[in-house]
């Protein structure tokens, strides 16, 4: 008995699956974001410029970008240290410590926010000794930085770990046998390999820091001109029904997020090979 020829495309369900994907994506994500873009486009550019240049808004944008940048850099360095030790040292309880790295992802931001605030408040476990040293943390920009580093660490560790695991030890042996010191081996052999992952982790932490609200709102103290981050100012404007003010600021954040998303995609293409697995 002769079987009918098999169609080249015999897997069914492409149409319905794609249709549902597109519909859900449009309803949940694209339509609401399009509403924001449209209402920003309806505003005269001069109006947006005026809102963004107002001292309180400009201060919050400077603070948000500056702190997100600095915290992402610190998180990338601390993440490199943690990833290095977790991959290369045989620590007791390594699996437990490794699981703990994701805590900032898993812990609701409001809980992280009140916990960090209580710790770093002038009468807290860490805040009291730090205040005695003349370094107040809670309700200062430094406090916001601490919260953002807390959030950024897992991004750096999780992008670096797979790259560190996949590095061929023989390359380092070769460098050492050719007379390189440990420092030279790290700088000239390891670091170039790690750089794409480090940059990816940094960008992800930076993007997260720009938009962060929950863990920052408690520790910042929310003083206009001093410790008021952009997401918080958006919230304030919404509560005052100042939709134009909120829209202008949200548009700035959205454009920054888009550019960072593009940068991360480029970085992942750059790290083709080990880092792309991430």
Partner 1 sequence: MDAYALSPRSGSRAVRLLLGAAALAVLGLFLVVPLAAVFAEAFRNGAAAYLASVRHPDALAALRLTLLVAAIAVPLNVAFGLAAGWALGKFRFPGRSVLLALVDLPFAVSPVVAGMVLVLVFGRTGLLGPWLAAHAFPVVFAVPGIVLATVFVTFPFVARELVPLMQATGSEEEEAARVLGAGFLTTFLRVTLPNVKWALLYGTILCTARAVGEFGAVSVVSGHIRGRTNTLPLHVEVLYDEYDFQGAFAVATLLTGVALVTLVLQALLGRRRREERR
- For residue 113, the minimal CB distance to partner 1 (Å) is 8
- For residue 57, the minimal CB distance to partner 1 (Å) is 15
Instruction: Verify binding: residue 110, partner 1, rule CB under 8 A.
Output: yes
Interaction mask 18-57, partner 1, x per CB under 8 A: x-xxx-xx--xxxxxx-xx--x------------------
- For residue 186, the minimal CB distance to partner 1 (Å) is 9
Instruction: Verify binding: residue 126, partner 1, rule CB under 8 A.
Output: yes
Residue 142: other Cβ atoms inside 10 A: 16
Tokens matching residue 136: 């107040």
Which is closer to partner 1, CB of 116 or CB of 144? 116
Instruction: Verify binding: residue 191, partner 1, rule CB under 8 A.
Output: no
Structure-derived torsion over alpha carbons of residues 137, 141, 147, 149, reported in degrees to the nearest 10:
-110
Question: Which residues from 171-190 bind partner 1, rule CB under 8 A?
Answer: 172-173, 176, 182, 185
Instruction: Verify binding: residue 132, partner 1, rule CB under 8 A.
Output: no
d(CA 61, CA 54): 11
Using the rule CB under 8 A, which residue among 48, 72, 101, 160 binds partner 1? 101
Q: Which stretch binds partner 1 (CB under 8 A): 52-60, 128-136, 168-176, 194-202?
A: 168-176
Which is closer to partner 1, CB of 68 or CB of 197? 68
- Return the closest-CA partner of residue 236 out of 55, 44, 56: 56
Helix axes 243-270, 191-211, angle to 10 degrees: 170
- Say if CB 59 and CB 133 are below 8 A apart: no
- For residue 107, the minimal CB distance to partner 1 (Å) is 4
CA atoms within 13 A on the CB side of 235: 12
* CA dihedral for 126, 130, 132, 137, sign (positive or negative): negative
Residue 140, helix vs strand vs coil: coil
Q: Which stretch binds partner 1 (CB under 8 A): 49-57, 134-142, 194-202, 204-212?
A: 204-212
- Say if CB 124 and CB 138 are below 8 A apart: yes
């Amino acid at each position: 008995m002769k079987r009918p020829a098999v169609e080249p495309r015999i897997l069914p369900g492409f149409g319905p699956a794609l249709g549902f994907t597109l519909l859900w994506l449009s309803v949940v994500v694209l339509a609401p974001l399009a509403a924001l873009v449209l209402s920003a486009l309806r505003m005269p550019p001069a109006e947006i410029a005026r809102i963004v240049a107002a001292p309180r808004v400009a201060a919050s944008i400077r603070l948000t970008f500056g702190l997100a940048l600095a915290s992402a850099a610190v998180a990338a360095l601390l993440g490199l240290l943690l990833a290095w030790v977790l991959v290369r040292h045989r620590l007791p309880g390594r699996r437990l410590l490794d699981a703990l790295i994701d805590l900032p992802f898993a812990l609701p931001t409001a809980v992280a926010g009140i916990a960090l605030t209580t710790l770093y408040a002038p009468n807290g476990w860490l805040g009291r000794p730090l205040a005695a040293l003349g370094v107040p943390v809670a309700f200062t920009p430094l406090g916001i930085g601490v919260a953002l580093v807390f959030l950024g660490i897992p991004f750096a560790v999780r992008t670096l770990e797979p790259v560190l695991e996949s590095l061929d030890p023989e390359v380092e042996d070769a460098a050492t046998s050719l007379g390189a010191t440990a420092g030279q081996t790290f700088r000239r052999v390891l670091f170039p390999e790690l750089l794409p992952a480090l940059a990816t982790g940094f960008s992800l932490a930076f993007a997260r820091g720009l938009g962060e609200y929950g863990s920052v709102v408690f520790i910042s103290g929310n003083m206009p001109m001093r410790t008021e981050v952009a997401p918080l100012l958006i919230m304030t404007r919404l509560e005052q029904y100042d939709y134009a003010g909120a829209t202008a600021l949200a548009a700035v954040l959205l454009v920054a997020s888009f550019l960072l998303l593009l940068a991360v995609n480029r970085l992942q293409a750059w790290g083709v090979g080990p880092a792309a697995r991430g």
